[in-house]
Every structure is written in structure tokens, then in C-alpha cells.
Amino acid sequence: MRTKWRLVAITTLLCAAIQAQQPAHKHSGDQSSIDPAWSELQSSMEKMHTAMSSIKASGNDDFDFVKMMIPHHQAAIDMARTQLLFGKDPQLLRLAQEIITDQQSEIELMTLWLNQHGANTADLTQPRPAPRKEE
């Protein structure tokens, strides 16, 4: 359980740091429009937060750690893809490609581990739909 709260704290701090940077990423000519790369990065983070917050604690720290890390890694992949689309620096483009390769491999390993240990691995990178209320 301690691991889950550490991940939540780290993710919250990262999100706050990114949001603090947002005004610096607006186009200088048109303050009402946001840079599309920044918008994509924000979307990746929001999707990750939604996916992570929809995971219910299992009471097993190992399961909880892996289930929280999968959407975290997927967000890294999504952000790296944004860098590949919009980035210009060759070193960062290479880093983004390495992040995609490494994080995909780690997601596969974590999914395999969960499957081997009997956990449900229904698309952990996406938030669960809200339960439907019966009328």
C-alpha cells in the first residue's frame, strides 16, 4: 500500500510541475491557443491519472504496484510519441524512441507477470468506464 501512495504522490508532484509550466508554452502571437505538443502532453498525463485512479487496491502490494505502473509507463510512451512528432533535438528524439522501446517491453513483462499470478489484466492503460446506474 505504501508503494501506491508513493506513486500517487510522485505523479501528483509531476502533474503540478507540468501545470506550472503551461503558460510558458502558449504561442506568443495568439495567447488563446495552446501549442499542440503541450496539449498532447497534458492529455497523456490526464489519461494516466484517470487510469491510475480507477485501479482498486487489491490488498497485494505486488499486484497494486504493477497495476499502477502499467498506465504510468503507457503515459511515458504517449509522451515520447508526442516528442517524436513535435520535437527537434536529435538527442531527445533518440531518447524518446528508447523510452518507447523500453517502456513497451516493461509493460509486456508486467502484464506477463500479472497473467502468471492470476490477475485480471484487462487493458490497464485505459480508465475503466463508469458503472451504469440502473433506473
* The three grid cell numbers given for residue 40, joined into one nine-digit string: 498532447
pTM for this prediction:
0.65
DSSP annotation string for 117-131: TT---TTTTSPPPPP
pLDDT digits (tens, 9 = 90+) for 13-42: 555 555 555 554 444 444 336 799 999 999
Does 86 map to a domain?
Answer: yes
3-state helix vs strand vs coil in the chain, percent to 5: 70, 0, 30
pLDDT above 90 as % of the chain: 59
Q: Specify the number of domains making up the chain.
A: 1
Domain span at 42:
2-15+36-116
CA-atom Rg of the chain in angstroms:
17
pLDDT at residue 124 greater than cutoff 80:
no
pLDDT recorded at residue 91: 97
Amino acid identity for residue 5 in this structure: W
Does 107 map to a domain?
Answer: yes
Does 31 map to a domain?
Answer: no
Does 30 map to a domain?
Answer: no
Does 51 map to a domain?
Answer: yes
Does 122 map to a domain?
Answer: no
Does 46 map to a domain?
Answer: yes
Does 111 map to a domain?
Answer: yes
